[in-house]
Each structure stands twice: as structure tokens, then as C-alpha cells.
Amino acid sequence: MSRRRALLAAVLCSALLAPSAHAAAPPVPPKDALRQAREDLRLLPSEFAAYRKLTAATAAPLWVDPSDAVAPPYGQAVFADSRAALLGLEPALAAASPPATITAAKILILSADRRLAETMIHQAARGTGLVVRAEGMILSGDRWAATARVDFAAEQYGAAWSSAFGALTPLVRTPATDVPTIALGTAAENALATDRISLRGVHSIENQPPLTHAGQPEVLLVGPDSCAGCALESWGLVAALSQFGVFTDLHLSQSATTLRPLVRGFTFRGAGYVSPFVTFVLAAPSSHVPHPLPFVDVANKLADVGSPAAPAVAAGRTWTQLAGSLARPKTAAGQAIDGTAELLTAEICEATGGAPAAVCGAAAVSDYESQLPPAKAPPSGAADHPTTRSPAARPRCRGLRRGSPPGPASSRP
């Protein structure tokens, strides 16, 4: 038995670690490797449980493309299900003569998990000690594979992927929350000049009381993470609101993988935001909204319906590529995001009465303000009766569930 396990360990190690004998052949993408393992197990009725777990691991909503799983926490399901599949194969492996199909499936599963972790480490290569930790977990997984405890190996590869994602997040979040002022203004001006930004979706809200919270103007966002326009606008919201306050617990996300274009962005679920000028509130649309769009209500003065920029400009770009574009005013993505940010900034400045002056006095903000729809006066006595929902949202967002303002100590769900 020990000799057989040693032989299996050698096969696994050589398959995972050794260079390919066919250098010209590209490596099999992780999702395709898991699919192949699943199809191999289809011929073994006794391994139906493992087959079912691999079916779950390759579900379309979990994958951005065949080489990349979606952001945590949902992407972690790929590793959990593949590890469960490996555990299901253990009885067959313990047999005196395990089928070659079982061994091949194990190699495919482990190689898929390992490659996913390596891809994320590569994306986060400029990160913190979390990258070093992730690399150590890869080595730990390799050692477990060498002992034939392949389920532990898969667990370590999954932990390496999560750790690398933890290193990637601040690499993306920091440039998005601190865009250089000159680059932000220049890109926003370029966006106006090239029609990269459309103000057709900006509407003045008429005859409604102000939308406030704790005496501050409120910015209310309605929109799921799943729509491409919502993902693109999340960049602009982060850049704009970071000029008025501070976000905490921002995490990465992406639009629905089953729809195109796919756009990477941020999720505000579980995030915190504090500001001396404005309150930010996230609300969820009802499930029966047929075509979800981002909807932003700025203090019941102005409302944005849909993304002011075309999501296609960000399609297929990684988080780091989009984050880098914010400081590059000549790029299409940079103009789209920075233009969205300065448009939202101009709307917020309308609500705050021009505070803070260092932000609201910027030339690009003034240019965007000059193109906003004229504000309508609130009804008599409206200041004494602040509302918590824009009636302008009701036709599109019936059943709106309004959340509480994010707090500085919020945690991710």
C-alpha cells in the first residue's frame, strides 16, 4: 500500500510541477481542466457524487472566463466543490488497483486549483506580505499532493487564491480612492470633449423635499452588482465620494458572468463610508425590476439613471488595468471613469452648497455643473420634512429596500 501511494505521489508531483513535455501546447485553462475531470468521471457511475461536485465547481456564474474565477466570496465555491470532489474520490483511490481515470481526474482537479492560485498571485505581484503567504500556501499544497492527501492540497491552493486576492484588493482600491487631481480633471475634460460621457440620464427632481440623513445631503445608490453599467459606475462613485469622505471595507466584484459585456468593479455591500459633507446609502432594487440599471439620487435634487459612460470601454479589463487607467487621461477607460466621477462630484457639490471648496472649485467640476439640468425649488415647507426615497425612483424601482448608511466598522456579508 505504501509503495502504491508513493508511486501515485510521484505521478501527481510530476504532473503538477514539471514543465510540460509539449512546450508548444498552452496549459489547459482551469475551468476546462475541471470540466475534463468531470467528463472522465461521467463514465464511472460509482463516482456520481464527485461528478456532481465538479458540475457545481464549473457553474457559469462562478467564472469570469475559463482561466479566472469570480471574486470572493463566491469564487471560493470553486475550491470548496473541487476539494469535495477529491474527497469523494478517496475510496476509489484506496482500492488495490485504482482506475487510471480516477488518478487522471485528481491530477486535472489539482492542476486547475493550482493554476487559479498562481494566476491570482501574478495579478497581485506588487502586493503585501499576503502574496508571500499565498506563495507559501502553494508550496504547502504541493507538499500535501506529494503525500497523496490531495484534498489538503486543494485546500491550500484555495487559501493561496484567497490570500492573493486579499493582496490585490488594496492595489486596486488605493488608486481608485486617491486619483491625482490633475489626472482626474484632465480625463474628465477629455471625456466631455470626446462625448465619452453622456448627461442624458441626469434628471432634475422636481417639487420634492430634500433627501437627507442626520442633517447631511444623502447620495442614494440603487443597483445590483450584476449589471455592467453598475460595475462601471462603481468606479466613478468610489473616486467621487472619496473626495468628500473615506470608504472602508471596499471589496472587488464584477458584473454577471452570464451577460456581456463583463465589467470588473467594486461592491458596496458591507462597505463603510464616513464624511463631514455627505451620507452614502446603498439600497437594493426589488427582484421584479426587469432590466436593472444603476440609479443614483443626489439629495432629491438630481437623479442619474443608467451609467453615463458605455460599459464596453471597460469590458475584459482586469481590476489593475482599470485602476491604472484612472491616472491616464488619454485612455478611453480613464476618461469614462474619471468623467463619471466628476459628474457625480458636480451633483454632490450642488447638494452641499459647494463644500468643500477645494473639491467643488475645480475647473472640471465647474464645467460639469454648468451642464447639469437646472434645479427645481422644493415645495413649501419641504425642508422640515426630509424624505428618505426619491419619488423619481418609484416607477423603475418599486419595492425599493432602503438600507442604512454604511458605517466605518461594517463587515462584508
Q: Take residue 206 and report the three cell numbers written for it.
A: 422636481
- The type of residue at 204 is S
Using CB atoms within 10 Å of the CB of residue 147, give its burial: 0 to 12 exposed, 13 to 18 middle, 19+ buried. Answer: middle
Residue 195 pLDDT more than 50? Answer: yes
CA dist 343 and 83 (Å) reads: 47
- The type of residue at 140 is S
Residue 322 pLDDT more than 50? Answer: yes
Contact at 8 Å (CB) between 295 and 396?
yes
105: nearest Cα among 168, 156, 39 = 39
Say what the pLDDT of residue 45 is: 86
- HEC letters along the chain: CHHHHHHHHHHHHHHHHCCCCCCCCCCCCHHHHHHHHHHHHHCCHHHHHHHHHHHHHCCHHHEEECCEECCCCCCHHHHHHHHHHHHHHHHHHCCCCCCHHHHHHHHHHHHHHHHHHHHHHHHCCCCCHHHHHHHHHHHHHHHHHHCCCHHHHHHHHHHHHHHHHHHHHHHHHHHHHCCCHHHHHHHHHHHHHCCCCCCCCEEECCCCCCEEECCEEEEEEECCCCCHHHHHHHHHHHHHHCCCCEEECCEEEECCCCCCCCCEEEECCCCEEECCCCEEEEEECCCCCCCCCCEEEECCCEEEECCCCCHHHHCCCCHHHHHHHCCCCCCHHHHHHHHHHHHHHHHHHHHHCCCCHHHHCCHHHHHHHHCCCCCCCCCCCHHHCCECCCHHHCCCCCCCEECCCCCCCCCCC
| Dihedral pair phi/psi, residue 231, rounded to 5° | -65, -45
Residue 210 pLDDT more than 50? Answer: yes
Task: Report which listed range, 7-16, 89-98, 304-313, 381-390, is most confident.
Answer: 304-313
Question: Residue 290 contacts by C-beta under 8 Å, 6 or more apart in sequence?
Answer: none
Say what the pLDDT of residue 44 is: 86
Contact at 8 Å (CB) between 38 and 55?
yes
Mean pLDDT of 224-229: 86
Q: pTM for the whole thing?
A: 0.82
Question: Residue 149 contacts by C-beta under 8 Å, 6 or more apart in sequence?
Answer: none
Say what the pLDDT of residue 8 is: 43
Say what the pLDDT of residue 412 is: 36
Q: Take residue 136 and report the three cell numbers written for it.
A: 507559501
Mean pLDDT of 120-127: 82
Q: In this structure, what is the dihedral angle of CA atoms 119, 120, 124, 127, given to the nearest 10 degrees?
A: -130
Mean pLDDT of 127-133: 79
How does residue 186 score in pLDDT terms, banded at 50, 70 and 90? very high
CA dist 411 and 413 (Å) reads: 6
CA dist 306 and 73 (Å) reads: 27
Mean pLDDT of 147-158: 87
CA dist 280 and 344 (Å) reads: 12
Question: Residue 132 contacts by C-beta under 8 Å, 6 or more apart in sequence?
Answer: none
Length of the chain: 413
Say what the pLDDT of residue 362 is: 95
- Helices 100-123 and 30-42, packing angle to 10 deg: 160
Say what the pLDDT of residue 410 is: 31
**pLDDT greater at residue 346 or residue 96:** 346
Torsion sign across C-alpha atoms 408, 411, 412, 413: negative
CA dist 2 and 10 (Å) reads: 12
Say what the pLDDT of residue 124 is: 87
Torsion sign across C-alpha atoms 153, 158, 161, 166: negative
**pLDDT greater at residue 401 or residue 310:** 310
**pLDDT greater at residue 122 or residue 99:** 122
